[in-house]
Chain A
Amino acid sequence: MGVEVKVEGLTKKFGSQMIWNDVTLSLPAGEISVMLGPSGTGKSVFLKTIIGLLKPDKGHVWIEGTDIANCSEKDLYEIRKLFGVLFQDGAMFGSMDLYDNVAFPLREHTKKSESEIRQVVMDKMELVGLTGAENKLPGEISGGMRKRAGLARALVLEPEILLIDEPDSGLDPVRTAYINQLFIDLNAQIDATFLIVTHDINTARTVPDNIGLLYHKHLAMFGPREMLLSSTEPVVAQFLNAQRVGPIGMSEEKDADELASESGIEMPPLPPIPEQLSPSDGRPRRAQREPGAWCRDNGVTPPPGSFESEAPVPTGGGA
């Protein structure tokens, strides 16, 4: 079962430049959350702050009673064993082949024998579909393969929390769809808490249980997927539907003139909420909720056409 990550009043500046201010949210245990935001809003910085690679200027990150933002170096290295992190380009160690890369955490942190290590590594390599590529060097394989190898390495220590930095950057739509499905299947298998940082809207609309949106140096909204997808809040609606009309401009924020010239234009109607991806073996995930459950519970009418798909809805699923 995953671990809850509680973020309280987190503030990060680089010099005098504010990155984001007073971010408070909690990533529910065992659920998949996506952090969205226009380019340059510090999504990756947020991810690196959660894992303690960057120190925030203010605020706390609580994981199992330890404040990552203010704990000692020793505690930090200890708590990081709960994490698996997939960096943008996989961050494989260039001097080792894929097998050694994936085996690295096991050799460093466990007293497993080489044959046990082999077992685990081969399992994970198969999970991400890299069987047969064990002896390749990271420089010899494509970006998509490096990402999957990075995922295998992030998984070997059975993490409780999985942080994923832009899984779709540099990948074609088909590979992106595959890797998204992989995240869903993984979550069903290991029940870890997932945080995916991305600006791919399709990923954001179909993968997560929760969505957060960083915009203009603060957290604009964080909540269940259906809450954000049915939200008429201009920033949220604009970003989640990739429109030009709205408060987000080419450079971070539109100026008053631009906004005034748009004031007469109605925001286009919200598109239907797509169905969430479900695990490929058809069994529901633990954190999975029935489509439309949030809208019903909160008396929100979802946009017409929502939750309709040709795939049968798994019955009896949902918590």
Chain B
Amino acid sequence: MSISVVTGPARVAGGLFAFMMDVLVALFRRPFQLREFLLQSWFIVRVTIVPTALVAIPFGAVIALQVGGLIKQFGAQSFTGSAAVLAVIREAGPIATALLIAGAAGSAIAADFGSRKIREELDAMMVLGIDPIQRLVVPRVLACMMIAVFLNSLVSIVGVAGGYVFNVLLQDGTPGAYVASFTALAQLPDIYQGMAKALVFGFLAAIVASYKGMNAKGGPKGVGDAVNEAVVITFTLLFVVNFVISALYLQLVPPKGM
């Protein structure tokens, strides 16, 4: 019994890794399913875009609020804009994207695959000589990655704009100082690493959701469990990965000199 405590999670991790390898191989197999890719991209946009915008505004505002108060005590209000940009673009953007990609897109993908699995649709597809990984998973993974990058840009823009409004209208900051300080701390590689993070998050969320959905078992309850596990695993994974990428980035890219 005690052995299964160790082997259970190890098996899930191993299965997930093997699945990821299968997907990576299938990525390069032709024909590419363009139609499915576009349909899925549109679907993901539909379920994520409004919540993303709504989450981004308070994200920007809360950073402005926290940083604004602190920075005032140092007498460095002119750097509020800079701090907000740095926080939103480096961390808040990718994290908010991760939450929405995992929560909205990932759960939808897991539920879809789960119900296909228990209705034997996936078996039927394999029996018809079609690999569901190439046909269904690859387009979803690519769609998730692309939309994650777009969402990241959206969160960044809306977040910074939210911070601006909050700072200028409510904290009596000066518009000029807010905008002028943008480039004081932030630099172009910050945007690149935000995009790279979003790309990785989109990839992982789609992989975990597909894996869990395709391995659902035990009827309708199994689908619910699969969705639940997919979201929990994705969240955990994304926050860990976010930390690792941030740590690497701070080591590898020199901060901007003042």
Which residues of chain B in 80-137 are interfacial with respect to chain A, using CB atoms and an 8 Å cutoff?
Answer: 115-116, 119-121, 123-131
A87 near B120 with CB under 8 A, answer yes
- Least distance between A164 CB and chain B CB atoms (Å): 12
- Interface residue A85 (Cβ < 8 Å from any Cβ of B): yes
Could you write out 19 A-B pairs with CB less than 8 Å apart? A53-B123, A53-B126, A77-B131, A80-B127, A80-B128, A85-B123, A85-B124, A85-B127, A87-B120, A91-B123, A92-B121, A92-B124, A93-B124, A94-B119, A94-B121, A105-B129, A109-B128, A109-B129, A153-B128
User: Which residue of A78, A91, A104, A109 has the most chain B CB atoms within 10 A of its CB atom?
Assistant: A91
Q: What residue in chain B is nearest A73 (Cβ atoms)? A: B131
CA distance A77 to B125 in the complex (A): 11
Q: Which residues of B contact A222 (CB under 8 A)?
A: none
- Besides the known contacts A81-B129, A108-B129, 7 further A-B residue pairs in the complex with CB atoms under 8 A apart: A48-B123, A53-B127, A80-B127, A94-B115, A94-B121, A108-B128, A109-B128
Contact of A93 among B121, B126, B129, B131 (CB under 8 A): B121
A91 near B124 with CB under 8 A, answer yes
- Least distance between A90 CB and chain B CB atoms (Å): 8
A residues near B (Cβ < 8 Å) are 48, 51, 53, 77-78, 80-81, 83, 85, 87-89, 91-94, 104-105, 108-109, 150, 153, 157
Q: Which residues of A contact B115 (CB under 8 A)?
A: 94
Q: Which residues of A contact B121 (CB under 8 A)?
A: 91-94
- Least distance between B23 CB and chain A CB atoms (Å): 14
CA distance A117 to B129 in the complex (A): 18
- Least distance between A37 CB and chain B CB atoms (Å): 20
| Chain B: interface residue total (CB-CB under 8 A) | 14
Q: What residue in chain A is nearest B135 (Cβ atoms)? A: A108
- Least distance between B52 CB and chain A CB atoms (Å): 25
B residues near A (Cβ < 8 Å) are 115-116, 119-121, 123-131
Number of A-B contacts (CB under 8 A): 51
Q: What residue in chain B is nearest A165 (Cβ atoms)? A: B120
B120 near A89 with CB under 8 A, answer yes
A87 near B123 with CB under 8 A, answer yes
A80 near B123 with CB under 8 A, answer no
A51 near B119 with CB under 8 A, answer no
A89 near B129 with CB under 8 A, answer no
A87 near B129 with CB under 8 A, answer no
CA distance A108 to B125 in the complex (A): 11
CA distance A104 to B120 in the complex (A): 16
- Least distance between B30 CB and chain A CB atoms (Å): 13
Q: Which 8 A-B pairs have the closest CB atoms?
A: A91-B124, A91-B120, A87-B120, A85-B127, A80-B129, A105-B128, A81-B129, A77-B129
Q: Which residues of A contact B126 (CB under 8 A)?
A: 53, 77, 80
Q: Which residues of B contact A108 (CB under 8 A)?
A: 128-130
- Least distance between A157 CB and chain B CB atoms (Å): 8
Q: Which residues of A contact B124 (CB under 8 A)?
A: 85, 87, 91-93, 150, 153
B119 near A89 with CB under 8 A, answer yes
CA distance A89 to B120 in the complex (A): 8
Contact of B127 among A78, A83, A92 (CB under 8 A): A83
User: Which residue of B126, B128, B129, B131 has the most chain A CB atoms within 10 A of its CB atom?
Assistant: B128
- Least distance between A151 CB and chain B CB atoms (Å): 12
Q: Which residues of B contact A83 (CB under 8 A)?
A: 127
- Least distance between B29 CB and chain A CB atoms (Å): 11
CA distance A104 to B129 in the complex (A): 11
Q: Which residues of A contact B130 (CB under 8 A)?
A: 77, 108
Q: Which residues of A contact B125 (CB under 8 A)?
A: 93
Q: Which residues of B contact A92 (CB under 8 A)?
A: 121, 124
Q: Which residues of B contact A104 (CB under 8 A)?
A: 128
- Least distance between A84 CB and chain B CB atoms (Å): 8
Q: Which residues of A contact B116 (CB under 8 A)?
A: 94
CA distance A145 to B129 in the complex (A): 24
CA distance A92 to B115 in the complex (A): 12
